[in-house]
Amino acid sequence: MNDMQKRDEIPSTSSLSKLGITAIGYSAGGIFLFLLQAISRLRGLGLVVGAVVCVVGIVSLLSKDPDDKKAGIVIAAAGALTVLSKTNIPLITAVSGTLLSIGALGLLALGIWNGIKFFFGLKKRS
């Protein structure tokens, strides 16, 4: 009976691979948002990069895959926040920068959390 319970707790290969890919995606997204925030501080380049990122997000929204649509919303919002951070209105600039930081930290935290679950799942399999 005890051996049967241990087998049920072992994660499948597909669930582990999904956790690993999710961890990498969230971590890369968080790093990308931090880079986007750093680029947004540059005078001319920040506006152009923000607009390009916003357009890429809008194009991703046209996909039929629901995961692509979720990513498209995040990407379009990040691009819009980058463009808004270039305005001369202090409140909007501060709020958009803060939201970019919160989003980046949140994505990194999710990436780390999924990475920890992935490594514990690998440990259970061995």
Q: What is the DSSP letter of 85?
A: T
Res 109: pLDDT: 96
Res 9: pLDDT: 77
Report how far residue 80's alpha carbon sits from residue 118's, in angstroms, rounded to the nearest whole number: 33
Q: What is the DSSP letter of 89?
A: -
One digit per residue, pLDDT tens: the chain, 126 residues?
455 455 557 888 888 899 999 999 999 999 999 998 888 888 778 888 989 999 999 999 888 888 888 889 989 999 998 888 887 788 888 888 889 899 999 999 999 999 999 999 988 887
pTM as predicted: 0.79
Domain boundaries, the chain: 22-125
